[in-house]
Amino acid sequence: MSTSTTASVSTHILDTSVGRPAGGVAVQLSARLGRDADWQPLGGSVTDPDGRCKDLPALPEGTTHVRLDFAVEAYFEPDVQHQRAEARQDAPANRDSGPGVFFPEVAITFAVVPGEHYHVPLLLNPFGYSVYRGS
């Protein structure tokens, strides 16, 4: 049993539309100390080429709720997708398909208890997303 007085959080993003990690996505971390408390912005990170945020800030003691805000709109911009396709040379980018993303931001809020680690993966595509508590 852990004796830590804080929880910890990690995340990664998989772009399920291409079956690859989503690098270069900004992620902001906020916490609150009780369900009626105000959100405290703690800072953020950007996903690495493997889709992982390895340097999210630590949670303050007494955190009960955490929010991860993923800024996914820029990731799905047509020019960015075209550059990714050219770099991979395995999937054509459709530059004239309309809006690149339906959900420009994804906010995930979850409850935490002290001493536990929470890995929260985001499975992402231009028109949907899914999350779960990983390990």
Mean pLDDT of the chain: 87
pLDDT digits (tens, 9 = 90+) for 9-57: 999 999 999 999 999 999 999 999 999 999 999 999 999 999 999 899 9
Domains and CATH numbers, the chain: 8-131 (2.60.40.180)
Average pLDDT over residues 53-70: 95
Flag whether pLDDT at 95 surpasses 70.
no
Q: How far apart are CA 120 and CA 72, in angstroms?
A: 16
Q: Of residues 90 and 52, which shows the higher confidence score?
A: 52
Q: Of residues 92 and 70, which shows the higher confidence score?
A: 70
Q: Of residues 66 and 83, which shows the higher confidence score?
A: 66
pLDDT of residue 99: 59
Phi, psi of 25 (to 5 degrees): -95, 125
pLDDT of residue 81: 54
Task: Using a cut of 0.85, tell me whether the model's pTM lies above it.
Answer: no
In the chain, % of residues over pLDDT 70: 81
Q: Tell me which H or E stretch contains 86.
A: helix 78-88
- Going by pLDDT thresholds of 50, 70 and 90, the confidence category of residue 80 is low
